[in-house]
Amino acid sequence: MGQSLNGIPDVAAKHLCCGCGACAYVQPDAIRMVDDLDRGRRPLVQEGSDTGEALEVCPGKGLEHTFDRDGSEWIEELVDGWGPVLEMWEGFAADDEVRWLASSGGAATALALHALEHEDHHGVLHVAAREDVPYLNQTVLSRSRAELLAATGSRYAPASPCDGLQRVEDAPAPCVFVGKPCDVAGAAAAARKRPALADNLGLTIAIFCAGTPSTRGTLEMARAMGVDEPEAIDSVRYRGKGWPGGAEVTTEVDGAARTERMSYGASWGKILQKHRQWRCYVCADHTGEFADIAVGDPWYREIPPDEPGRSLVVVRTERGRQFVRAAVASGALQLERVSPDLLPASQMNLLHTRGAVWGRSLACRMLGAAAPVYRNMATGRIWLRHLSLKQRAQSIYGTFKRVFTKRLREPAPVVPFEPLALAPHADEREEAEAA
């Protein structure tokens, strides 16, 4: 794809990996996903392996749209900035418990539950907290309402749901896949290579995503709440229990449970977003352009503190359209059709990021750092039309600085994190990398 990459290790080394796990699904004998404290979920590759097959499905190296822009009913005004959109809806899960626990209005969980209960789907491949180390994530195949409920809510921490795609391929009936836009792009690329996976990928749902913070981000958030010992952590939530809800870290020491809380604004705005992996700064798809359905927050108006959640539901394919209609008919979702304007009005920051990607990628290439390649995805036009002169200059000059501060021209080694040990401090990490 125009990028000179020598296999999966090169994607990670060149700071292009987003951690989706698709490579580990395609070549499980050669690749396994590990947690890297400061970077995210990363592929650990057996030395000497040829990872060419995995590289073909890797969304980290870049993305390409192949839909016929002129030949369908796409909402024309949204295509450049937001990809293919057939319909826009706003609403919430009719099940009050789902709506309360979920991140926004629970649309992702309500659609998944509808698939299990009314569409004969076998399971839902998605992400939940690890039971043994609750501040890390694991890929799970949920098969019941209880299992789905246990995994509601956004987890602002590394997750690689594509590493579980074999379970979808092996399932006796189609499954739903839920993930971030890059996860869905990885699953879609893998399905193009593996017909058995394509046959069983019944529906893909993407959650909007501004970027994945590293595990260090979660531990810093816990530390800011007064929780200094990661091994005492019993559970971590980032959102939900209201809209957007707040972060919650529960600890248990000598049988005594304690719950610390922090607002969403403080946890995401002041701590987590500063720990986003570099690949997210050069990500052009924050709204799940390769999914059947994408869901996000309708932030176009002030949200009163006690308002129950609502979701923006973006229908991107005909299969997605039929699913949404059936979920409304079964009573799983309550939705109303809304104007396309509400997408930019809700998520203008994501449109600006898409534009900034053009300037950031240019700056990276000028200084010899790698950047993903995007085909049939307007970034230059958005840079020109939607960014001010200052923002355009900032996207280039700010990146010149980051290439050095983030050491983007130096290889990024994958350093597996041993969660049972205390998190190494920055200087210990540097020693490990130098070794």
Ligand X SMILES: Cc1cc2nc3c(=O)[nH]c(=O)nc-3n(C[C@H](O)[C@H](O)[C@H](O)COP(=O)(O)OP(=O)(O)OC[C@H]3O[C@@H](n4cnc5c(N)ncnc54)[C@H](O)[C@@H]3O)c2cc1C
The reply on whether position 371 binds ligand SF4 by CB under 6 A is no
- Least separation, in Å, of the C-beta of 107 and ligand SF4? 18
Q: Please state the closest distance from residue 203 (CB atom) to ligand X, in A.
A: 12
Contact by Cβ (8 Å): 162, 31: no
Q: With respect to ligand SF4, which residue has the nearer C-beta, 13 or 128?
A: 13
- Which amino acid is it at 135? Y
Q: Which residues bind ligand X (CB under 6 A)?
A: 102-109, 126-127, 151-156, 159, 161, 178-180, 183, 207-210, 212, 295-297, 309, 311, 347, 350
Contact pattern for ligand SF4 over residues 263 through 292, marking x by CB under 6 A: ----------------xx--x--x------
In the list ligand SF4, ligand X, none, the entry touching 40 (Cβ below 5 to 8 angstroms by class) is: none
Mask for 225-264, x = binds ligand SF4 (CB under 6 A) = ----------------------------------------
b or e along 382-415 (b: 16 or more beta carbons within 10 Å of the residue's beta carbon)?
bbeebbeeeebeebbeebeebbeeeebeeebebb
Q: How far is the CB of 159 from ligand X (least distance, A)?
A: 4
Q: Is the CB of 308 or the CB of 413 nearer to ligand SF4?
A: 413
Residues of this chain, 296-355, that bind ligand SF4 according to CB under 6 A:
none
Radius of gyration of the chain (CA): 21
Q: Which of the residues 113 through 142 are near ligand SF4 (CB under 6 A)?
A: none
CA distance 346 to 343: 5
To ligand SF4, the closest distance from the beta carbon of 278 in angstroms equals 9
* Nearest-angstrom CA–CA distance, 61 and 286: 16
The answer to whether 11 touches 62, Cβ cutoff 8 Å, is no
Q: Between residue 88 and residue 117, which ones bind ligand SF4 under the rule CB under 6 A?
A: none
Task: Indicate which of ligand SF4, ligand X, none lies near residue 355 (CB less than 5 to 8 Å, by partner kind).
Answer: none
Burial of 377 from C-beta contacts in 10 A (0-12 / 13-18 / 19+) = buried
Closer CB to ligand X, 156 or 374, in the complex = 156
Q: Which of residues 26-85 bind ligand SF4 (CB under 6 A)?
A: 43, 58-60
What DSSP line would sit under 132-148, residue for residue?
Answer: SSTTSEEEEEE-SHHHH
Find the helix packing angle between 389-405 and 348-366, rounded to 10°. 50
> Which amino acid belongs to residue 163?
D
Does residue 20 belong to the site contacting ligand SF4 (CB under 6 A)? yes
Residue 314 backbone dihedrals phi, psi, to 5 degrees = -105, 115
18 near ligand SF4, judged by CB under 6 A: yes
Instruction: Pick one of ligand SF4, ligand X, none as the site partner of residue 296 (Cβ within 5 to 8 A by kind).
Output: ligand X
Helix runs in 119-247, H state only: 145-150, 165-170, 181-193, 195-200, 215-224
In the complex with ligand SF4, the residue whose CB is nearer, 106 or 288, is 288
Q: Which of 13, 17, 115, 332 binds ligand SF4 (CB under 6 A)?
A: 17
What backbone phi and psi angles, to 5 degrees, belong to 288? 65, 55
Residue type, 24: A
> CA–CA distance from 153 to each of 106, 346, 398 (Å)?
8, 19, 33
Residue 13 touches which of ligand SF4, ligand X, none (Cβ within 5-8 Å per kind): none
| Binding of residue 211 to ligand SF4 (CB under 6 A) | yes
Contacts with ligand SF4, residue ranges (CB under 6 A): 8, 11-12, 17-23, 43, 58-60, 180-182, 186, 209, 211-212, 279-280, 283, 286
